Amino acid sequence: MNQRLLPIFRSDEQAAVLTVLFVLHAGAMSLTELADRAGVSVAHAHKEIERLEPAGLVHSERVGRNRMVRANPDSPYAEDLRRLLTKALGPPVVLRRALADLPGVDRAFVYGSWAEAASGGELAGPPADIDLMIIGKPDIGRVYEIARAVENELGLPVNPTVLESDEWEAADSGFLRSVRSKPTIELVP
């Protein structure tokens, strides 16, 4: 995760841990599970929890040999932090969750300004929208329903483009050359 989209966090690891805790709404999880979901080492996850717990942002408790952690929904910062993380760092998380049960999707990814910025590209300000490419044969009406729901959750417009696999493979338009040549964030492999 590249936190350049919202460079207020100390590190990418801290941003990733907070995003898992506050955007995924995963409930209590072990430090190992938190680390896996955030893509950080267990040591980083432990260090972040040690900093976040005294601030009241997370709770932890021992269950057997495991330290179980979760976001503290009663923190006065919880809802604002969740909204901030969701908008700035959460689009891949929210989109993966929204597309998980959509049949007919062979591949899905974010492209365009959001993917460029998240991949370390130069920013001319925060991305104004999210470009979503879906390859396969999903129900188009359902795709637009999902896009609107995600749009409402993120507070950013979601612009889906749907192509069948053979269209994606065979087409050589300027648009597709541009999409293929720039950063993407995979959502569905």
Token output for 173: 């338009």
Domain 3-86 sits in CATH 1.10.10.10: yes
Per-residue confidence (pLDDT) for residue 125, from 0 to 100: 65
Rounded to an integer, what distance in angstroms lies between the CA atom of residue 179 and that of residue 189? 16
pLDDT tens string, the chain, 189 residues long: the values are 555 666 788 888 888 899 889 877 668 999 999 998 888 999 999 999 999 999 999 999 999 999 999 999 999 999 899 888 877 777 888 899 899 989 999 999 999 988 887 777 765 666 788 999 999 999 999 999 999 999 988 888 999 999 999 999 988 889 999 999 999 999 987
Per-residue confidence (pLDDT) for residue 124, from 0 to 100: 61
Q: 91-188: CATH homologous superfamily?
A: Beta Polymerase, domain 2 (3.30.460.10)
Q: Kindly list the domain boundaries of the chain, sorted by start residue.
A: 3-86, 91-188
Which stretches within 1-139 are classed as H helix?
12-23, 31-38, 42-52, 78-88, 91-99, 113-118
DSSP state of 5: G
Rounded to an integer, what distance in angstroms lies between the CA atom of residue 70 and that of residue 47? 15
